[in-house]
Amino acid sequence: MIAKGKDYKGKAILQWTSDVRIAPKRGRILDRNGKELAISANVFRVDLDLNSLRETIKKNKLTMNDIAPELATILGMKSSDVLPILTRTNSKGKPIGAVILKRRIDKTTSDKINDYSKKLNLRGIVITGDTQRYYPNNNFLASVLGHTNSDGNGLTGVELYYNKFLSGVPGIKLSETDRKSEDLPYTISDYTKPIDGKDVVLTIDETIQYFCEKAASQAMIDNKAAAVTIIAMNPKNGEILGMANKPDYNPNNPWDLSKSYDENQKVWRNRAVSDTFEPGSIFKVFTAIAAMKEGVVKETDKFTCTGSTVVAGRRIKCWKTTGHGVESFVDIIKNSCNVGFMELGRRLGPEKLNKYISLFGFGKKTGIDLNGEALGIIRKTKNMTAQDVATTSFGQSNTLSCVQYLTGLNAIANGGKLITPHVMKEIVDYNDTNTKKVLQTYSNYNVRTIIDDKTTAKLRSYLEQVVESGGGKKAYIAGYHIAGKTGTAQKISTTGPGYAPQKYVSSFAGMAPAADPQITILVNIDEPDPSNYYGGQIATVVGKQVFDDIFNYLSIKSDASNAEVNKSLLKDIIVPELRGLKKADAEKLLKEDNLKSKTSSDGDIITDMTPKPGYTVKEGTDIILRTDALKEESNVVVVPNIIGDSTETASKVLNSLGLKAKFIGSGLVSEQSIEGTEVKKGTTITLHLDVITD
């Protein structure tokens, strides 16, 4: 007793006590306005105190084989699965004392188990409260929220990253029993109440997330894309307001049994954080600010683009293979001129270029509070050749993630501060009177001033011109002063060196209003239809939709009139050729194109029209149809802009206007011999084609 008393006491307590762990309720995940994104529903679990159960079935002259089938039927399990649980042993072959039979059963099932237990006078079948994770919006925000495993612990996303706050502390029910496992009336029973998990409030705004999800889903369909990612952020504090990845999954049922474990993991992955890509021309924003800050370029500098330039013996093309001609610094940004940016790279050199790449956080983790963040790949300065400097300057060679890119762009939007992006706003708890108590607020901002506000303001004014009249004009909304940049990059091959044929990433990054941005967004379209992949054509349209929704929701005011704003939101339509058609047929075609018609005379055949076929107008524009005598100008059409179109689309548009197409090269239209002017039908338009990587 003196030497071994402590050990014997411990063994004795195990013999005469029975304990069952009681699961706490997992905390909720809420959006910034308190909307529930993940909750725990109250259900029940069946625990087995096997010591008590073995005693009572022996007393009642039963066996585990006798009770297994009925328990299985009530619980919707197989008897062959229940019996091994009832007879489980430890590693030494000795019967174990306690085990979980089934979790997350409803009240009806728990009542049936209780009735069955009473009917056979069984002791040791313990019903306690349990929680089941539930995501009320199904796929909504899935890759950010993540999901839990069968034990209720976070497996991915916010559920994993903030698991220690969400999970809570289990309770314990401890009671003394006699040798027959019956409760003793005079014993000390102990009950420790479980401590429920805390609520995690996100920076996500449910409404802005909806805008991002809606736009991403539509972009996937419209562009037959493999995947689409859209992020919306507050550039002033690094808060992520929306982060959508399509395709996604339903965290209520995360396991697709037709897929392997690795395939399921791939579906769960948050591509905005975990995947990297060559950014293409959206990276030119950072080359431009590096050149401005280092004083190697002035606004009045002139650049001559002939369509390509030779770097260390290799000819590297501009996306416009016929060249942009003589351009200013602002022009090379507006036109996204590779030749101009290669010259900026040459002036900077590898040391200074990589200095700013590092300064903006590329090649390093942002520190976002989500698991699986990718580093990206940045060429080391000592290994960079002149060709590497050239291609890096316009967005090739290096890789980065969507969240890395937008974090860097935020520094240009907010006046030069690099701020850690994050999805957690605060951790909260509620007392017995339902009073909210904030336990922790996000504080790991790690704010670093990397550029002065004067330089960033100047660059924002240049980027505003990109959207007003440059490559990003399809994102233009009157009076909102969106500053942005488009990009089109080939995807790196996964099977060997070089790039994968017919696979591209199209992007648009923007901020608004340009003078003092309140919102930044990034649209990333992975592997769009190779016949229409140009970022200025497809990613800008998505960005425009997201910006418009957010402007209205946040009541950000335009300095244009309502009529001007509404007009800029309408789609551009190329006026079709209607001359020679019957009036009814012409009116039908206009209606299909969302155009209106006005007839100036009473005839039945259209002889002339204003504006002429080929002009680009907004939806809802009135097209005046004439049915009087045929005039000479009825043979005249306008050549529309078809830059970025495939040969099939370009041929269809020109042929419908009575024009001929002559193609040079292969790929998409990168240059056209005539644009925006009136010509006679039958005129041949020369179209230069190239694999556009902008």
CA distance 378 to 23: 47
CB-CB contact of 359 with 407 (8 Å): no
Q: Residue range 338-358: average pLDDT? A: 98
**Same domain, residue pair 467 and 502:** yes
Q: Return d(Cα 613, Cα 626) in angstroms, integer.
A: 13
pLDDT tens-digit profile of 433-491? 778 899 999 999 999 999 999 999 999 999 999 999 999 999 999 999 999 999 999 99
> Do 563 and 584 fall into the same domain?
no
Same domain, 463 and 528: yes
What is residue 109's three-state secondary structure? helix
pLDDT band of 181, cuts 50, 70, 90: very low
How many angstroms separate the CA atoms of 636 and 639, rounded?
A: 10
Q: What is the CATH number of the domain that holds 213?
A: 3.40.710.10
Question: Hey, what are 143's tokens?
Answer: 């890759």
Residue 429 sits in the same domain as residue 551? yes
Identity of residue 79: S
Domain membership of residue 201 (yes or no) is: no
Report the domain count for the chain.
3
Q: Residue 17 — pLDDT band, cuts 50, 70, 90?
A: low
- Residues 450, 417 contacting (CB under 8 angstroms): yes
**CA 392 to CA 371: how far, in whole Å?**
28
Q: Which of 52, 110, 281, 646 is catalytic?
A: 281
Shared-domain flag, residues 259 and 311: yes
SS (H, E, C) 117-137: HHHCCCCCEEEEEEEEEECCC
Whether residues 210 and 179 share a domain: the answer is no
Q: Which of 127-136, 142-151, 320-329, 380-389 has the lowest mean pLDDT?
A: 127-136
Phi-psi region of 464 (alpha: psi -120 to 50; beta: other; left: phi over 0): alpha
Q: Of 569, 589, 617, at which residue does a domain stop?
A: 569
* 414 domain residue, yes or no: yes
Residue range 133-157: mean pLDDT, rounded? 94
Domain boundary among 137, 162, 196: 196
Confidence of residue 185 (pLDDT cuts 50, 70, 90): very low
CATH code of residue 126: 3.90.1310.10
Are 475 and 308 in contact, with CB atoms under 8 Å apart? Answer: no
Residue 603 confidence class, pLDDT cut points 50, 70, 90: confident
CB 408 within 8 A of CB 287: no
Tell me what the mean pLDDT of segment 21-43 comes to. 90
In a domain, 11, yes or no: no
Host domain of residue 243: 206-569
Same domain, 214 and 190: no
Residue 355 φ/ψ, nearest 5 degrees = -60, -45
Whether 5 is in a domain gets the answer no
Q: Is residue 12 part of a domain?
A: no
pLDDT tier for residue 18 given thresholds of 50, 70 and 90: low
Model pLDDT, residue 694: 84
Q: For residues 384 and 459, state if they share a domain.
A: yes
pLDDT score for 173: 66
Distance CA 494, CA 496 (A): 6
Position 25 scores a pLDDT of 86
Pairwise CA distance, residues 363 & 400, whole Å: 7
Residue 91 has pLDDT above 60, yes or no: yes
Residue 663 lies in a domain: yes
Q: Is the pLDDT of residue 187 over 50?
A: no
Question: What pLDDT is attached to residue 1?
Answer: 62
Element housing 305 (H / E): strand 302-305
448 lies in the same domain as 578: no
Last residue of one domain, picked from the residues 196, 230, 249: 196
Asked whether residue 4 is domain-assigned, the answer is no
Same domain, 557 and 576: no
- The verdict on 591 and 563 lying in the same domain is no
CB 669 within 8 A of CB 645: yes
User: Does residue 3 form part of some domain?
Assistant: no
Q: What is the DSSP string of 195-209?
A: BPPPEEEES--HHHH
Does 281 qualify as catalytic in the annotation? Answer: yes
Q: What is the mean pLDDT of residues 575-587?
A: 94
Predicted local confidence at residue 12, as pLDDT: 53
Q: What is the mean pLDDT of the chain?
A: 92
> Three-state secondary structure along 61-102?
CCCHHHHHHHHHHHHCCCHHHHHHHHCCECCCCCECCEEEEE
Mean pLDDT of 231-245: 98
Where residue 602 sits, what CATH number does that domain have?
3.30.10.20
CB atoms within 10 A of CB 360: 24
Residues 402 and 257 occupy one common structural domain: yes
